[in-house]
């Protein structure tokens, strides 16, 4: 068994930026401001990818999908995760479980938690019971607490 940890954070788009939907764990949060990013800005999937790659010691999201590469502009992060799952499989691993913590003042994660769990489980090809998603605020502390962005921590176990 091997354990991996992943972290990511993204700022919300500013007023003047071109609008982009907010997508967390492959689930669209309609009516919420999107995140600044080269890709679709799915900060949850980015942290999950780094947890998986970390467990397998296969580098990180930046080495696989460099943001200097135009190929990944606006990329659907679910597609990147599928690509990573293929590599994890080729290396002989299956996912034991995934635990994700999303930190933001908004949106509220609780009401959408089950959708995010289901979506991540299907992208990883595991059951919902193997995926945990937790949402919390930063108690108004620091920039995340001021509502400037979203931070995500993820832990994955590979077998």
Q: How far is the CB of 122 from Mg ion (least distance, A)?
A: 21
- Nearest residue to 43 (alpha-carbon basis) of 71, 22, 29: 22
- Name the E strands within 12-62: 21-24, 27-33
Binding pattern to Mg ion, positions 75-114, x when CB under 5 A?
----------------------------------------
CB 157 within 8 A of CB 2: yes
Scanning 1-9, 66-74, 79-87, 134-142 for contacts with Mg ion by CB under 5 A, the matching segment is 1-9
User: Cβ of residue 73: shortest distance to Mg ion, in angstroms?
Assistant: 13
Cα 54–Cα 9–Cα 47 angle in degrees, nearest 5? 25
Closest CA to 66 of 80, 45, 52: 80
Region of 6-14, 72-80, 82-90, 119-127 interacting with Mg ion (CB under 5 A): 6-14
46 binds Mg ion (CB under 5 A): yes
Measured from the CB atom, the residue of 8 and 151 that comes closer to Mg ion is: 8
Neighbours of 87 (CB within 10 A): 15
Quote the tokens at residue 77. Answer: 């992060």
In the bound state with Mg ion, the residue whose beta carbon lies nearer, of 46 and 119, is 46
Give the footprint of Mg ion on this chain (CB under 5 A).
Answer: 8, 46
């Amino acid at each position: 068994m091997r354990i991996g940890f992943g972290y990511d954070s993204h700022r919300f788009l500013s007023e003047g930026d071109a609008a982009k939907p907010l997508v967390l764990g492959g689930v669209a949060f309609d009516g919420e401001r999107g995140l600044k990013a080269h890709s679709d800005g799915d900060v949850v999937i980015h942290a999950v990818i780094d947890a998986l790659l970390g467990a397998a010691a296969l580098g990180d999201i930046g080495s696989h999908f460099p943001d200097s590469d135009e190929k990944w502009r606006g990329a659907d992060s679910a597609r990147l995760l599928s690509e990573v799952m293929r590599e994890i499989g080729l290396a002989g691993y299956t996912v034991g479980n995934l635990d994700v913590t999303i930190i933001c003042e908004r949106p509220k994660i609780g009401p959408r938690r089950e959708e995010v769990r289901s979506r991540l489980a299907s992208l990883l090809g595991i059951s919902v019971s193997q995926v945990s998603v937790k949402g919390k605020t930063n108690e108004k502390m620091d920039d995340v607490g001021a509502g400037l962005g979203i931070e995500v921590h993820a832990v994955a176990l590979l077998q």
